[in-house]
Amino acid sequence: MAKKASTSAAGQGTYLAEAARAQRRVCTVTYPKGYMQAAPAGDERARLLRETKYKWLNGSQLRFWFYDKPKKWAGTEGDRQVVRQAFKMWKALGIGLEFAEVANAKDADIRIAFLDGDGSWSYIGTDVLTKREDPRTMNFGWSLTEDPAEGLDTALHEIGHTLGFPHEHQNPFAGIVWNEAAVYKSLAAPPNNWSKATTRHNIIDKLQADKVQGSSWDPNSVMHYPFDPGLIVQPKKYAKGLFPKGGLSARDRKWAKTFYPELKPAAVKALQPFKANSLYLGSGQQADFTFKPIETRDYEFRTFGDADALMALFRQAQPRGKPLALEDDGGTNDNAHLKVHLDAGKEYLLRLRLRYAKKPGQAAVMVW
C-alpha cells in the first residue's frame, strides 16, 4: 500500500505536490504459482474452482505472530499495534474468520516481520501455509506509525492479501490503459527501486476475471494502489492521478463478507449416520454440520454428486484449531472423503465449502 495524496478540500494541487515528492511506497505481493493463468475457455468448473482456490474455510482462526528476533525483523510496539488494529477492523466487518495473536512461531499461520527496506508484502490466502525457506508470510518494509493513515492502510492491505484478495488495480474490469514506460520509470525510482519484472507482476499484468469478485472495478479498494499523474492513460479521468479514499471500501466489505459470512450457529445441522444431507449451496458457499457418535470407532465422511468440496473435521470443543482431517477434492474425479477415528459422546464439527456443483441440490454429504 502506499502513501495517499489528499484530494480533499486541502486544496487544488495537493496531489501534484504529493507526486512531486515521489515518496510512494507500494506493496510487492507474491501471487501463487499459476495464479495469473487463465482457466481453459468455457470450463465453468475450472473457473469456479479458481475463485475459491486460496480462500480459507470460513470459521477458521488465523493465528498471527510477530518476530521478536532477529532484531532487524522485530518492529516497534507502535508498529505491532497498527497491525493488531487492522486485524480488528477486518473482524469488525462481521466476518466469520477469527484472528488471534499467539506467543510462538510454531502456533502461527501468519508470521509477521518488519524488515525495513524489504518492502511490504504478503502471500495470498492459504498460500501462506506453503513452506518456504524464508519463514515470514508478511513483511512491513517501512514504519507504520510515521504516517498513521498510510500505516493503517498498509496493514489493512497486507491482511487483505492474507485473506485471499489480490490487487484491485489489476482487475481486468478496470479497463486501465497504462503509460507503461512512465509506470516502469516511476517504480524503478526510489523508494521502490523495482525491477521491470516486479512492476509488471504488481501493476501491469491483469488478473483473470475468475480472481475478482463480480464484474466491476473498485478504485477505492484498500487493495488498490494510488497512482501519480501521468501513469494512467485510460480511463481519462485518472490521467491526473488516482487516489483511493483510504480504509476499507464498501466493496472490500462486501467481498470479505461474501467469502467469509458471519457464522450462524442456528444454521448448523446435525449429521446422522447413513443419512444423506443435500447441499443446497451455490459454488463457493459453505455449510457446517455437527456430529455426535454413539460408539467409538472409525467413521467416514463423504460427499456425493457432481461436486468439488473442501471439507474439514474439527473437535467441536476446538472448532478453530487445526482440523482432525481435511480434504479438498477440487478438480479431481473423486469426491471428498475423510476417515477418522472418533470417540463416543464427543461432539465434532464438519465444515464443508462447496467449491463447485453442477447444479444446486445435486450434491450431498453423509457419514457412516
In what side-by-side order are the strands of the sheet with 110-113? 98-101, 61-66, 110-113, 138-139, 121-122
Pick out residues in 23-42 that bind Zn ion (CB under 5 A). 27, 29
Q: Strand order in 363-367's β-sheet?
A: 277-278, 363-367, 297-305, 337-342
What is the spatial distance between Cα 334 and Cα 305, in angstroms, rounded to a whole number?
10
Residues 186-245 that bind Zn ion (CB under 5 A): none
- Grouping H, G, I as helix, E, B as strand and the rest as coil, residue 130 is coil
Gap between the Cα atoms of 68 and 80, Å rounded? 11
Q: Which residue is nearest to Zn ion (CB)?
A: 27
Q: Which amino acid belongs to residue 155?
A: A
CB nearer to Zn ion: pick between 110 and 350? 110
* Cα distances (angstroms) measured from residue 209 to each of 67, 113, 223, 284, 365: 36, 32, 16, 16, 30
| DSSP-derived 3-state class of residue 30 | strand
HSE at residue 321, side-chain half, CA atoms within 13 A, is 8
Nearest-approach distance from CB 136 to Zn ion, in angstroms: 15
Grid cell, residue 236, equals 481519462
Instruction: Give the 3-state secondary structure of residue 348.
Output: strand
State the helix-helix crossing angle for 77-91 and 148-162, rounded to 10 degrees. Answer: 60
**By C-beta, is 27 or 307 nearer to Zn ion?**
27
Candidates 19-27, 31-39, 85-93, 185-193 — which segment interacts with Zn ion by CB under 5 A? 19-27
CB atoms within 10 A of CB 19: 22
Question: How many angstroms separate the Cα of 170 from the Cα of each of 167, 197, 203, 206, 332?
Answer: 6, 15, 6, 5, 30
| Nearest-approach distance from CB 82 to Zn ion, in angstroms | 16
319 near 57, Cβ under 8 Å?
A: no
Closest distance between Zn ion and the C-beta of residue 165, in Å?
Answer: 9
**In the complex with Zn ion, which residue's Cβ is closer, 167 or 353?**
167
- Which is closer to Zn ion, CB of 64 or CB of 291? 64
Closest CB 122 distance from Zn ion, rounded Å: 7
Nearer to Zn ion by C-beta: 166 or 330?
166
Which residue's CB is nearer to Zn ion, number 27 or number 256?
A: 27
The least CB distance from residue 157 to Zn ion, in Å, is 5
Which CB sits closer to Zn ion, 124 or 263? Answer: 124
Residues 200 and 253: their CA atoms lie apart, in Å, by 28
Residue 310 found at the interface with Zn ion (CB under 5 A): no
CB of 161 to Zn ion, least distance (A): 6
> Shortest approach of Zn ion to residue 27 CB, angstroms?
3
CB closer to Zn ion, 27 vs 49: 27
State which residue, 256 or 352, has the beta carbon closest to Zn ion: 256
Query: Nearest distance from residue 30's CB to Zn ion, in Å?
Result: 9
Quote the least distance from Cβ 167 to Zn ion, whole Å. 5
Determine the size of the site formed for Zn ion (CB under 5 A). Answer: 2
Rounded to 5 degrees, what angle do the CA atoms 31, 310, 324 make? 110
Residues that bind Zn ion (CB under 5 A): 27, 29
